Chains A and B, each alone.
Chain A
Amino acid sequence: MEELKEKLKVQLIAQLNLEDITPEDINSSDPLFGEGLGLDSIDALEIIVLLQKEYGIKIEDTKKGKEIFQSIDTLAAYITENRK
């Protein structure tokens, strides 16, 4: 799980062009949206593409993303449960 979380941080930084942010800057329990990393609805769509590309997980309903993408912790938990 920890390994997955670290990998996710690297992938998010690359996919979302989070310049000047390193994996160490992201606390796994920090909120990704709003405060925290300050991601927005477009980033949510980008994460949906990332999940499908890298983990084969398809999210059809963008509203569902809100709960799953709360933090690196929730994202990693969802991937572990649903990956193929």
Chain B
Amino acid sequence: MTGPLKHPINITGTGIVAPIGDNASACFHSLVHGRTGIGRIMHLDTVHREIFPVGEVKHSNASLLSMAGLDERPGKFYTRATLMSVIAIREAIAEAGLTEDELRDCALVSATSVGGMDKTEHCYRNPEYTSLDYVYTHPCGDTADSICDLLGIQGYRTTLSTACSSGANALMHAALLIRNGIADRVIAGGVDPLCLFTLNGFNSLMILDKEHCRPFDSSRNGLNLGEGAGFLVLESDRSVKSRGAKVHCRLTGFSNTNDAFHQTASSPNGEGAYLAMTQALESAGLEPGQIGYINVHGTGTQNNDLSEGIAIRRVFGEKVPPFSSTKSLTGHALGAAAALEAVFSVLALTNDTLLPQIGFNAPVEETGLIPVTRATKAELSHVLSNSFGFGGNNSTLIFSKQDGTLL
């Protein structure tokens, strides 16, 4: 991969809608206070309402519509994915200070696993629903097209769909667009709505916990689903200089590998995760000891946390950096998870704060790893974020402060 000193990827804006907050500062507040967004299902109409806790974004679609500054128009509807994305991106572009002209030429790299599925499942074979408009909003790529339409973005747009690592791969694609001079400014991230399809899907795989999830705990018994949208503004040095933009931090390392072990399960030795982390470190030109905090994938399933823990031990040995799973507060937002956690990683880095997780009592016997359970001030230079998905898909991102070893 391209060397670490070539074409830095600057982060100039972040935006987020998550179960723990409607913007980055609200999320940070919830994160440091360990305030969970997981609870009883409020908006999703399902027979499992009383059974499975989830991390829901605390707004109905009507409320999201007004938050996105949009009006209901006859013959035009927006999916939950589009609405959450527009809100998050508006925050990111406001923070980056992009003008309308600058926005028009941006590229958009989105990520999702189900996109408009919430609409599809509501309309498909529903005798009360005669319109076929859901056929247009069903494709994963429709969310990106709708976002571009609504925000006046005319540049290249695309969508990554690699299950639960999608958001990380979107940032990786965006970074390559900048490094290859194809785009100077890219809005990149991911979104996934809670829906019956994924709730029932994960239930059929018997990996949903009926209690609040407990990542990296010996008593962990599955995941809670979540939802949300997270987007970042990535810019080349040229763009930052020409606009005089403020750089928050940089995306310095990224890697995607495949576990090649099983369609849904992670390998016992965490090979794919190990390779993702080591290759990301290599791409950033960093040693493991330079990582100050890890935002782990940490879903709370038996399989993931054991496999990821073993991989972390293989990379970091006895000196495992402070780590936590913010999914204990947000639930697992699937295709958006990596994007939400990229925003959390940026928040941890820029605020010099180790983010805590909840639901931890005793470490996994095989790895003995103990996560951060109380927000702690720490001087951070580099933060690593893991995101793994079905199909053996493993991604690692590394965020770094602009100063230090990088310039």
Residues of A with Cβ closer than 8 Å to B? 40-42, 45, 48-49, 62
Contacts and interface: CB of A to CB of B under 8 A. Distances in A.
B47 interface: no
A46 to B, nearest CB: 9
A42 B206 CA distance: 11
Given A40-B262, A41-B262, A42-B263, 8 more contacts: A41-B265, A42-B264, A45-B204, A45-B205, A45-B206, A48-B206, A49-B204, A62-B206
Contacts of B264: 42
Residue of B204, B206, B263, B264 with highest tally of chain A CB at under 10 A: B206
SS of A interface (majority):
helix
Interface string B234-267: 0000000000000000000000000000111100
Contacts, number: 11
A62 B262 CA distance: 17
Contacts of A49: 204
Interface in B108-164: none
A67 B104 CA distance: 60
Nearest to B205: A45
Main secondary structure of the interface of B (DSSP, over half): loop
A62 B263 CA distance: 17
A40 B206 CA distance: 15
Interface string B185-214: 000000000000000000011100000000
Nearest to A46: B204
Contacts of B265: 41
B322 to A, nearest CB: 32
B181 to A, nearest CB: 44
A45 B202 CA distance: 12
Contacts of A45: 204-206
Contacts of A48: 206
A67 B265 CA distance: 20
A79 B111 CA distance: 45
Nearest to B264: A42
Contacts of A42: 263-264
Contacts of B262: 40-41
Contacts of A62: 206
A4 B204 CA distance: 26
A42 B204 CA distance: 10
Nearest to A62: B206
A34 to B, nearest CB: 14
A41 B264 CA distance: 10
Nearest to A41: B265
Contacts of B263: 42
A45 B216 CA distance: 24
B262 to A, nearest CB: 7
A45 B205 CA distance: 7
Contacts of B204: 45, 49
Nearest to A65: B206
